[in-house]
């Protein structure tokens, strides 16, 4: 018997594990030496878990949409009401709640572990050969660790997206419910529903929309606040007023928005080095990249509408989410949802490996320093007491927005090519045709034969 030779892509993906372990060890050693998490983790060293406990505290107080100006739909407050000890939130100091509510900390870590298990089961169904590195990258990579450090409800949202759009559930109605739950946690996931329009999955669209509305009405009845107008007004206010400084905003950024804000600030030292002409060129260049990437995704969406049977469902869902994330900075912890869909692509051709390598790079829990910028005196959560938090210009600040943009653009170009080839071969007929080799999203629609390197999915 001759041994089966693994494809090159499988070896390349497994090499990520070595990089992941090395960067992870470096981050752990840094934390023990300096008593705070290194870049690109959240820059406020004392603010660990506070997305969770701020939301949990306001879930038990009036004024969450008027005074706190929350952008979270009511479901976030319902989940955190059920995930904490009420006695810990009677004090006016939210930090007291964090020190007291051990059950809340247990729940967020339990969900984190659950996500690792569900992710592994998902990728084992897709391709056993690459399941280990892809599961590790998505469920325990830098974006998910960032979400755990913040205690963000993305932990719940990722679970719902995985169950709603993944291959683990056979019941369409259960998947609709989980999609509705996900949209009620992160509003920008409405873009995922647009994929159902492009694929002309009318029954799925109707089921997901009804589930989304039902979940919203139930959660609104429980909380008694959070009308669509309130949420929209707070989203607009957040987009206009929340502008972190150029350094902290670029710690782990998905877009060039932080860099653009820095270039537009005449007080930034970089502008003195670039000069007015260099600053103007930088603004035009980065703005052009953002608009061009949005345009490529929009063209891919139009192409999908023309030939829906050519484009995998998971890719179309990714387009809807990526367009929203490129248009507005949503934070590092939102990346796992997009990365999950990127990693459903097989290692094939040129565009897909480029997107996959970019995704792996974004998941590395570390960074490379370029030059020292400043130091700040702050308190540490992990090692109680003051620490001197140093800020550096790093490679990731420059590269991550480019990689994040590159992933959907590569797959958009691939989609345009595939649709062009199909139109050239089949003609301009708009008939809905199912081809045996059409790769589909597990959990939405199953092909009779999957792409090479992937297992076939079978719907109920």
How confident is the model over 330-349, as pLDDT tens digits?
778 889 999 999 999 999 99
> Which element (helix H / strand E) includes 55?
helix 50-58
Mean of pLDDT values over 300-329: 89
Nearest partner of 411 among 318, 339, 332, judged by Cα: 318
Q: Are 454 and 124 in contact (CB under 8 A)?
A: no
Largest Cα–Cα separation, the chain: 71
Q: What is the pLDDT of residue 375?
A: 86
Instruction: Report the first-to-last Cα separation within the chain, whole angstroms.
Output: 38
Inter-residue contact 330 to 157 (CB < 8 Å): no
Please state, in angstroms and rounded to a whole number, the distance separating the CA atoms of residues 361 and 400. Answer: 8
Give the H or E element holding residue 379: strand 369-380
- Torsion angle, alpha carbons of 327, 148, 109, 13, to 10: 80
**Short-list 83, 104, 94, 84, CA closest to 58:** 94
**Does residue 275 carry a pLDDT above 90?**
no
The alpha-helical segments, DSSP class H, found in 92-201 are: 94-100, 102-126, 131-140, 142-150, 154-165, 172-183, 190-198
What is the distance between the alpha carbons of residues 300 and 418, in angstroms, rounded to a whole number?
A: 10
| Region of residue 427 (left: phi > 0; alpha: psi -120 to 50; beta: else) | left
What are the residue boundaries of the structural domains of the chain, listed by start?
Answer: 8-426
Q: Give me the pLDDT at residue 453, please.
A: 37
Q: How many helices (H) and strands (E) does the chain have?
A: 19, 2
Query: Could you read off the pLDDT of 132-170 as tens digits, one per residue?
Result: 999 999 999 999 999 999 999 999 999 999 999 989 998
Task: State the Cα torsion 191-136-37-247 to the nearest 10°.
Answer: -40
Q: Average pLDDT over the chain, rounded to whole? A: 84
CA atoms of 219 and 210, how far apart (whole Å): 14
pLDDT for the residue numbered 269: 60
Cis, bond preceding 81 (omega within 30 deg of 0)? no
Residue 449 predicted with pLDDT over 50: no
**H or E stretch including 381?**
none
CB-side exposure of 84: number of CA atoms within 13 Å?
27
Higher pLDDT among residues 373 and 343, named by residue: 343
- Mean pLDDT, rounded, for 288-301: 92
Contacts of 260 (CB under 8 A, 6+ apart): 283, 286, 287
- Distance in angstroms (rounded) separating the CA atoms of residues 201 and 203: 6
Give mean pLDDT, residues 114-130. Answer: 94
Taking the C-alpha atoms of residue 406 and residue 209, their distance in angstroms, rounded to an integer, is 30
């Amino acid at each position: 018997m001759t041994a089966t030779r693994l494809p090159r892509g499988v070896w390349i993906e497994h090499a990520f594990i070595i990089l992941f372990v090395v960067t992870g060890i470096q981050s752990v050693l840094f934390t023990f030496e300096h008593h705070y998490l290194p870049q690109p983790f959240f820059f406020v060293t004392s603010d660990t878990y506070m997305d969770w406990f701020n939301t949990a505290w306001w879930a038990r107080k009036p004024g969450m949409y008027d005074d706190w100006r929350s952008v979270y739909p009511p479901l976030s407050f319902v989940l955190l009401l059920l995930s904490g000890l009420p006695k810990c939130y009677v004090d006016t100091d939210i930090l007291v709640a964090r020190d007291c509510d051990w059950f809340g900390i247990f729940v967020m870590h339990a969900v984190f572990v659950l996500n690792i298990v569900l992710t592994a089961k998902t990728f084992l169904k897709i391709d056993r050969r690459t399941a280990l590195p892809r599961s590790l990258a998505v469920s325990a990579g830098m974006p998910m660790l960032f979400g755990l450090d913040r205690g963000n409800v993305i932990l719940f949202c990722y679970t719902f997206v995985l169950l709603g759009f993944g291959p683990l559930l056979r019941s369409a109605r259960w998947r609709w419910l989980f999609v509705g739950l996900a949209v009620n946690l992160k509003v920008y996931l409405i873009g995922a529903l647009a994929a159902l329009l492009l694929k002309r999955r009318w029954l799925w669209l109707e089921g997901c929309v009804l589930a989304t509305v039902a979940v919203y009405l139930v959660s609104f009845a429980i909380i008694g606040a959070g009308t669509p107008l309130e949420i929209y007004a707070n989203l607009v206010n957040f987009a206009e007023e929340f502008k972190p400084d150029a350094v902290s905003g670029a710690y782990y950024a998905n877009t060039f928005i932080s860099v653009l804000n820095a270039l537009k600030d005449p007080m930034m030292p970089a502008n003195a080095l670039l000069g007015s002409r260099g600053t103007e060129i930088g603004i035009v260049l980065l703005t052009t990249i953002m608009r061009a990437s949005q345009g490529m995704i929009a063209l891919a969406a139009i192409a999908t509408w023309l030939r829906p049977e050519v484009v995998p469902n998971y890719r179309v869902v990714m387009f809807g989410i990526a367009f929203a994330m490129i248009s507005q900075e949503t934070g590092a912890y939102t990346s796992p949802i997009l990365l999950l869909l990127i990693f459903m692509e097989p290692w094939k051709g040129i565009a897909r490996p480029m997107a996959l390598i970019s995704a792996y790079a974004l998941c590395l829990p570390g960074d490379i320093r370029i030059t020292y910028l400043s130091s700040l005196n702050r308190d540490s959560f992990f090692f109680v007491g003051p620490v001197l938090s140093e800020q550096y210009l790093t490679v990731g600040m420059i590269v991550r927005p480019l990689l994040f943009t590159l992933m959907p653009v590569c797959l958009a170009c691939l989609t345009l090519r595939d649709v062009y080839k199909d139109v050239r071969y089949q003609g301009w007929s708009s008939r809905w045709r199912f081809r045996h080799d059409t790769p589909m999203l597990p959990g939405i629609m199953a092909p009779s034969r999957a792409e090479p390197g992937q297992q076939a999915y079978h719907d109920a």
